[in-house]
Structure 1
């Protein structure tokens, strides 16, 4: 298992490169990867099961210790990104399916890779884990409601169907994984070192299937979609930090909230797009999966060289 963990660590460090290369392969030769869209929800459910297996009751204790920081983070997660997503669809006058895909990314919970990025950035990891976990548990209610509110102008939205999909793809696997960790901890501990490798393989496969299924649309509007995705992510990172700073949170909490807000569960967005709106609606999620790992790595690398425990007078100049 040590060897598997070592492989997983290496793959995790090169995740962005791997996903970019895999997406390019699927775009260049879509045939072998097309037609597998029905497997996407199952792949994401397995990834979320792995996420649930990493959770422990202590991860939720942060909420009681620092409720203000947690509340600010969750509010920013479900206000900043949906607002930005809707604004970008208006500015770029996106086609309906692409616009819905952007809204789906905007209204998704925090991404599973964000905890690693916060750790590398010397941020508040406990806050990051609590935000990812709770935003994921809130997703069955908040994501359909926000999508209905913001995307209903583009295509018909069935919030009840979205709710059921998120429960099946996200909530049930996460809760099952948590229960497995709780009642079969010894067995789960043996497989946890392999989970990063499994997640990378699963997300990469999802990206390849989506890119292959929407190759024509991606070639026609790829640069525009990429510009929207990049602006959405970068603005989310910046505004998450600004919101945390404006509320007087410490530097470590600012970094955690910035990364949590900017990094979405784009796999969920892509899956919902595939199942409910069509292949083109999954493209923003697929591209976001690539981009936010690149930008997150850059931000984490920058902050990793700048201590988060600076004196108040130094915080403005150093961070």
Structure 2
């Protein structure tokens, strides 16, 4: 990718997408957390502790090269994507909980993402010499996440009619931009892409499956109802890979670090659709067996 595109257009495009995310949020989405604190806390624990730990284990067990290990940890630290709400709608999740989780995740990630990435740089890289995430870059990450989201929320509050007009175009733009950034990252690393797929493809598949399963089954085991567990699964399983790739390409200035998120994006929606379909099928089978069983 041209350096001007990377340093100017990518952050600008991501900011537009994050404004679109903010258009879907209101202060009520944050206050709603008080109504379902258990579900929110379990989802955050799964995402910030369990998944980050699993990503670390995957990096170690599969002996990922340092840059790809940092990239997988960056992906694990990224919050849920806005498309999680769409998957919740399609597969009978609690959409209100999804929106609340997106709101909380967007704020928390501005603080936790730099911490997790800096830890992974220090652990996997040789003295962190090749890439770094110093304080000025941490502020850059914060501004990439928080400022546009707040702008979107302000637009929604003060110009609701404009919000209705912007929602659909921004969703389309987000999908097109994700495709563009994946293609761009792959072209940038085209001479090594097959090597990257071989090295990190299995890791991203395992991580994707673990994200969805942990997001659903841990809440269920802890007494959360099925609709809320589905919301947690899609919020945790559909990472904001656009954010991860943009941070890798701009803030960290390293296209190799973007590869795990790029490859993850290829699998993410497919696995989420299969997972949601299986949940719907098993829930119908369960209802059918209960209604046909003898009394």
TM-score normalised to the size of structure 2? 0.88
Name the counterpart of 2:114: 144
Structure 2 Cα separation of the partners of residues 191 and 240 of structure 1: 31
CA distance in 1, matches of 2:44, 2:172: 28
Instruction: Note if contact 2:197-2:263 (Cα within 8 Å) is conserved in structure 1.
Output: no
Partner in structure 2 of residue 17 of structure 1? none
Map of 2:226 onto structure 1: 251
Distance 1:282 1:67 in 2: 34
Q: Which of residues 185, 209, 212 in structure 1 aligns to 2:187?
A: 212
Following the alignment from structure 1 to structure 2, what is the Cα–Cα distance between the partners of residues 272 and 301?
32
1:37 equivalent in structure 2: 6
Show the counterpart of 2:293. none
Distance in 2 between residues matched to 1:273 and 1:92, nearest whole Å: 21
How far residue 257 of structure 1 moved from its aligned partner, in angstroms, is 1.2
How far did residue 151 of structure 1 move? 3.5
Could you tell me how far 1:183 is from its partner in structure 2?
A: 0.7
Cross-structure match for 1:231: 206
How many residue pairs end up in the alignment?
A: 280
RMSD: 2.1
Change (3 A) 1:255 1:162: farther
| Shift in Å, 1:171 | 1.0
Which runs of no fewer than 5 residues in structure 1 stay unpaired?
1-32, 315-319
Q: Do 1:34 and 1:212's aligned partners in 2 also have CA atoms closer than 8 Å? A: no
1:23 match: none
Distance of 1:116 and 1:42 partners within structure 2: 24
Q: CA deviation at 1:122?
A: 0.5
CA distance in structure 2 between the aligned counterparts of 1:216 and 1:84, rounded to whole angstroms: 30
Question: Partner residue of 1:132?
Answer: 102
Counterpart in the other structure of 2:71: 101
- Gaps in structure 2 of 5+ consecutive residues: 291-295
**Distance in 2 between residues matched to 1:117 and 1:34, nearest whole Å:** 34
Shift of the alpha carbon at 1:221? 2.6
Displacement after TM superposition at 1:195 (Å): 2.6
Task: Give TM-score scaled by structure 1 length.
Answer: 0.82
Supply the distance in 2 between the matched residues of 1:235 and 1:63 (Cα, whole angstroms).
25
Specify the alignment match of 1:280 in structure 2: 256
